[in-house]
Amino acid sequence: MGFLKEFFNNVFTEEDAARQAETAMPESGFESVSESDLEAHLGISRYGDFVLTDAVRPSYDLDVVPSAGYRHDRYRDEQSRQDVPVLMAAVTRDELFETFIELMEPLGQVVDVVIESSHNYSRAGRQECYREHIDMPILQSILYDFEDLLVNDGCTGVAVLNPGLPQEVQFDEHKLLLVYGADLSQYERVLDRNAVPCRDDMRFITEAEHVHSTNEEYIQQFEELKMRLGMDGDF
């Protein structure tokens, strides 16, 4: 799903820490911060008018300050050797989920859906589950039931797509909204209606060190979401 991403998760086990040491990961900027300063930093969710969800926090030195906006980008599809237009958007917490739901509308009445999890770090890669041909109203109803998981879990992402267009809308684990496809004008209008400004020079939280958050309850909720969507496992 989308771009290749690097994760920093703030819920570690001893096994996770040992695995990090074995793979010689570069030192994190969080490691030099005192426990009290780190706790205070992780407790900050508001940056000006922009409010983060519980899923992710920026680097301690705020190399990228979270803010609202969207920019035009391109994704290189290595299979087709083509550049695919992309919209990347950051939306403040109170408006995030409804903006995602509205961005799904141009995809049509029958879509495919992918849900993604990076909860289990002992597995190779991440878990992705695919469901074809689901009615949009049914999908939206299910997603509303799992709004807390989708908004606040830093290890869960979802993508909705219509291969016939082809276009795709992602609500990724960083709680960024991404849209892929040849003609994205309808999606730009959705972002404009929701007062998300176009800022093609903006940077996103993914473009600097950051930390993800999850918990056991969200792991269970992800399994329940799989069941509700009729997904048995990876594809």
Cα dihedral angle (183, 159, 89, 81), rounded to 10 degrees? -50
The pLDDT of residue 79:
76
Parts of the chain with a pLDDT under 70: 1-29, 121-125, 232-235
Report pLDDT digits (tens) over 99-158. 999 999 999 999 999 999 988 755 555 789 999 999 999 999 999 999 999 999 999 999
Give pLDDT, residue 12: 31
Give the DSSP letter of residue 124. S
Cβ neighbour number for residue 121 with a 10 Å cutoff: 16
pLDDT the model gives residue 59: 92
In this predicted structure, what is the pLDDT of residue 9?
A: 33
The pLDDT value given to residue 234: 54
Q: What is the pLDDT of residue 31?
A: 74
**Would you state the pLDDT for residue 33?**
77
CA angle 208, 9, 191 (to 5 degrees): 55
Question: What does the DSSP assignment read for 131-196?
Answer: EEEEEHHHHHHHHHHTHHHHHH-TTEEEEEEETTTTEEEEE-TTS-EEEEES--HHHHHHHHHTT-
At 80 the pLDDT is 73
For residues 156 and 116, the answer to whether their CB atoms sit within 8 Å is yes
Looking at residue 208, its pLDDT comes to: 94
pLDDT at residue 27, rounded to an integer: 58
pLDDT score at 14: 32
